Amino acid sequence: MYVCNCNGLRQRDVARAIEAGAMRPKDVFDRHQCRPQCCRCVCEMREMIEETRESYALAAE
- In whole angstroms, give the CA distance from residue 34 to residue 54: 27
Amino acid 60: pLDDT: 83
- What sign does the dihedral 7-49-22-24 (CA atoms) show? positive
- Cβ atoms of residues 17 and 27 within 8 Å: yes
**If you classify domain 2-60 with CATH, what class do you get?**
mainly alpha
- In whole angstroms, give the CA distance from residue 30 to residue 56: 23
Reported confidence tier of residue 59, pLDDT bands at 50, 70, 90 = confident
What would the pLDDT profile of 6-44 be if each residue is shown by its tens digit? 999 999 999 999 999 999 999 999 999 999 999 999 999
Going from N- to C-terminal start, the domains of the chain cover 2-60
Tell me the C-alpha to C-alpha distance, in Å, between residue 42 and each of 24, 47, 48.
9, 9, 10
* 9 phi/psi in degrees, rounded to 5: -90, 125
